[in-house]
A and B are shown apart, each in its own frame.
Chain A
């Protein structure tokens, strides 16, 4: 999933000139300090008003088939749902962890399962542990693949021709927000809609491409029922989808790929209501989904309101309403003023919550501070077909000229982890001791002189693109550009473009080099290496145009390799080649730095986009 710098951990530092003085006034007003929370809290009383206020940003789209970025997915995953989902469990028995009520588990687990988790017994497949650090200590969260609209996670059926089938039983009590019952045909429609080239989904090839026939439909070889008006009526259903009865769906994929089940949690695989999508033009203004919340108001640039779905098929959410303020403002200021309940902490404010020796340190804020790792990689990417980055030596020279350790530790004050490889921590196959491309200005200059451009004088104008509003490029980019100037003698221009336009221009191959992030959709190395670097991916997903037959071969072998150890090895080999070829310069893996009000329980920062709001509830102070 793409991440813009803007959406990074909801650290929306958005204010305009006029509101500045208003903000000043509000901060001066909130003088009286709240009392310190006591260390041991008895189970708290549930508050009467279950409302959550957050700072958000306008989603790029609310159509699950089109969404590929975090900013859209955080809303879509609450409004829609698919066959499978992630669920979590976090429990704190001793009451020494403020963000969870003692004895009250977060998540949909049975008591036996919770007991197992407490004994640190983790189910082998499709689950992983995530760690969150706080003032008091650490908490471990178990995240696992779980059924959503399906009754259970199915077992694979190995067909004689090498394909693999999954039979999904759909829940009888699953309804759309409008009241329509969900059946297998809805899934067939939703998948075919996503695969239809007219829908224009760029994510379909990544997350549904394994289903037999989907790629053919994407390439126009199979016409689908939506295209009845088309000239050549060879329309046909997807051969990989079969409706056994109204509530049973058989999905056949082209090989034994266990990670395929993870992909069904992605928005592209979520179910939409055919009656709405086919009939209403601007249907995403009031989308009809099956998720825990429904969209009741979307005022562009101002507000999004989500309301509880009372007919939700899983454990009903406790929150009645969630307000996302899209108008912006500085997160910490709004948080201190009590306007929002959860806020990200930025580079300039981190000293207030982290360092007790800092004069600005605020113990009250520090007690509300959470830190969690995020499974993502922020990187600089090159278009390997555009000069001067068509020469791998130039790319490598640019990579060697950046001191990533200094960037992470000094410029970004250890808010992030320096990246050496492509896989982030938490993904199987991540190597903390990986060498990567070293920082070596001398070698970089030599390499640049060896390239076909012969040195900094021979290079054409280079423009570094990044997404976002307003003029500041931020310390990261300014530091990188400065290091290129001093270490290589290359002057690089910076250009900032709004996120939607940025993606569009990127798709049209307009950029030479740009900054972007990629967050894991599911914990598997395939999500990073295969999706972004296999040469069969379309330009929308392989923006660098990088292709290497050796990498392709390793990735294809790894797709169906049954031995997990060997599979990881194959991915690591592919990663090594990619690092050496340098289509990306991995910069850092980010962390979530979040402040949560003490009356908000059950919120924990997640390493990837997981529908988390259904676990949150408000208690009385």
Chain B
């Protein structure tokens, strides 16, 4: 039993050891790197229009071609990657994951009334249709929320919140985490229930370890393979949901570029896709590669983590 840390080092080392996963890891790192330093390498501003160069195919000046307003698709893809990178990290370190894990630990370990309360609350939330409620929340809260953000920007001067479109996503994923923690909690809780009864937990208890110590040093590390799995699926889901929501019009707002909007603008017009396939091809391939890479890494990492228990 390895009892300390979440074994990030071991997982990372394990992924690096194998050639196939190393390639996937490099691709993923490259994607996130491009996402974060995007504005430095993008050849044009993301909204620069050039009506003399509309609907151009790929060329040396425009690597991925241009869209209907003559905007460089390569630049728009880079900025969309930035959006996706920020969102996926944001989701991975906040919202459903932290909420879900901590509630699972409390619920599973403490048991009794707390367990009953958390899990039944969870089932109530689970019964509600998430995306639909998200739309309602988005439609009803958005006007007031946006006034609040505008006031906040005016007072603090943090105009990057609006410029990067972060405010849209705090709203969307903030409300999404209301519903999505239940799945995480359910899986982890059942595992915590088993671990609670093991001898090493009993031993720790008899030595006088505090609840916090038992949870963080004895139970959490034993959940690491599940956590790896959940972490990766959360990122994948975030990317997918971001695209889906932008597609439905409740995610990021134009002219901020996002894969959802780029796909929406073209995919709804079959005639446009036929005439200018590059408009769909490039953004769609990037998203596909990104998610495929994540899935591969998820499988490998979970395996490593589970084998080296």
Contacts and interface: CB of A to CB of B under 8 A. Distances in A.
A330 interface: yes
A251 interface: no
A332 B274 CA distance: 14
B272 A348 contact: yes
A494 B68 CA distance: 18
A461 B154 contact: yes
Given A23-B270, A406-B51, A472 B255 contact: no
B180 interface: no
A348 B260 CA distance: 19
A482 B49 contact: yes
B150 A461 contact: yes
A217 to B, nearest CB: 33
Interface string A101-112: 000000000000
B112 interface: no
Contacts of A281: none
A360 B268 contact: no
B249 interface: yes
Contacts of B264: 470-472
Interface string A199-226: 0000000000000000000000000000
A472 B270 CA distance: 16
B270 A473 contact: no
A479 B247 CA distance: 21
B254 A411 contact: no
A501 B249 CA distance: 15
B173 to A, nearest CB: 16
Contacts of B48: 482
Contacts of A24: 270
Nearest to B268: A15
B249 A482 contact: no
A346 interface: yes
Nearest to A360: B275
Contacts of B47: 478, 481-482, 485
Interface string B72-103: 00000000000000000000000000000000
A277 interface: no
A496 interface: yes
Nearest to B274: A360
Contacts, number: 98
Given A475-B68, A482-B47, A505-B143, A493 B270 contact: no
Interface residues of A, number: 43
Given A15-B268, A17-B244, A471-B249, A495 B68 contact: no
Given A406-B51, A470-B248, A471-B249, A493 B162 contact: yes
A510 interface: yes
A498 interface: yes
A280 interface: no
B12 interface: no
Nearest to B52: A410
Nearest to A498: B139
Contacts of B267: 20
A557 interface: no
A482 B271 contact: no
Nearest to A16: B248
B248 A495 contact: no
A508 B272 CA distance: 39
Contact of A471 (B68, B162, B254): B254
Given A478-B254, A494-B254, A471 B261 contact: yes
Interface residues of B, number: 38
Contact of B260 (A330, A471, A473): A471
A463 B246 CA distance: 19
B247 A470 contact: yes
Contacts of A410: 51, 54
A505 B248 CA distance: 21
B108 interface: no
B242 to A, nearest CB: 11
A479 B69 contact: yes
Given A410-B51, A478-B69, A482-B49, A470 B269 contact: no
Given A410-B51, A496-B249, A478 B255 contact: yes
Contacts of A481: 47, 255
A470 B253 CA distance: 9
Contacts of A460: 154
A360 B270 CA distance: 12
A13 interface: yes
Interface in A375-430: 406, 410-411
B227 to A, nearest CB: 30
Contacts of B143: 497, 505, 510
A13 B249 CA distance: 14
B11 interface: no
A349 B153 contact: no
4 nearest CB pairs, A to B: A470-B249, A471-B249, A348-B269, A473-B254
30 contacts: A16-B248, A20-B267, A20-B268, A24-B270, A330-B268, A330-B269, A348-B272, A349-B269, A352-B271, A360-B275, A461-B153, A461-B154, A463-B150, A470-B249, A471-B247, A471-B249, A471-B250, A471-B251, A471-B252, A471-B253, A472-B265, A473-B254, A479-B69, A481-B255, A482-B48, A482-B69, A482-B255, A496-B249, A501-B139, A505-B143
Given A17-B248, A406-B51, A498-B139, 11 more contacts: A16-B248, A20-B267, A20-B268, A461-B154, A470-B249, A471-B247, A471-B249, A471-B264, A472-B261, A473-B254, A481-B47
